Structure 1
């Protein structure tokens, strides 16, 4: 079994904001797989399907970003998943808008959602798909991450979302991380 986790904040107030790019990617993947995230379980909304006979769980934690790890830990425990069975989709302030990067493991890099996952599951050895949202130049970080993409940035991030969905689908079909990093980074 594999689990794809998109990070974001629940509720209409945060829909479409930069901090919710993980939710946006998981929503796009769900649409691609023709499933709907409707099941509430373990502090998350989920959808499940099978790809090549393997169960796949799509996840959007319904805790706020800073507490994402609670839902991830509960789901990993319930479904008996190892860190190599999960991949997390997140926004990244330190990358240009729309830049996509796959990492096999690593530190939280200042991302509170990732930090909470690491604290809850006890390791940083899990894959992440990072999508750049850039650092703000004329506003605070909080105001920046909680606003939608505009103009050309919305187009570039939409393209990054499509690329992320392709990457995730390849991972779900069994391509390994080094192969995917060569292909997508």
Structure 2
């Protein structure tokens, strides 16, 4: 069983914003695998199905970004899952738009949603895909920036990053994450 969590904020107001790129990856995976992410469970929208012979759970926490761990922990507990089966996808300010980085573990790097997951799981050791959203080019509060939409050339770069992230998740179903990580982090 694989639990794939995309971080974001619920509601139309936040759709297509930088902070919701994790939700976009979940939506694309759901479309690719024919899974409806429409059940309400664990304070999240959830979809269940199969991919590559594995049972997969796609999840979009509805707790708002900073409380994401309040959905992830009960889901992992209920599924009697191991952290080895968990993958979290989210935005990263420190990567340029369009760049992705896969990691087996790490700090939150200032990302409050990831910090919530770390706090609720009691560990930094879980798989993740970070998708670059860059930093503001003009002085702007970070909360305003992450809740803004991509502009111009960023849109194409980010769309390609979402596609690469979806492919990386799909490859993880059939291959060890370290192998996938080495391929995508080049």
Structure-1-length-normalised TM-score? 0.97
Aligned counterpart, 1:143: 144
CA distance in 2, matches of 1:162, 1:135: 21
Pairwise mapping of residues 1-185 of structure 1 onto structure 2 (< 5 A)?
A: 1-138=1-138, 139-173=140-174, 175-185=175-185
Q: Which moved more, 1:109-118 or 1:134-143?
A: 134-143
Residues 35-70 of structure 1 deviation map (CA, whole Å, 9 limit, x = unaligned): 121010010001111123321000000001000000
Residues 97-140 of structure 1 deviation map (CA, whole Å, 9 limit, x = unaligned): 11011001011011000000000011111010000001113211
Runs (5+) with no aligned partner, structure 1: none
Residues 77-101 of structure 1 deviation map (CA, whole Å, 9 limit, x = unaligned): 1101111110000100011111011
Structure-2-length-normalised TM-score? 0.97
Runs (5+) with no aligned partner, structure 2: none
Aligned residues: 184
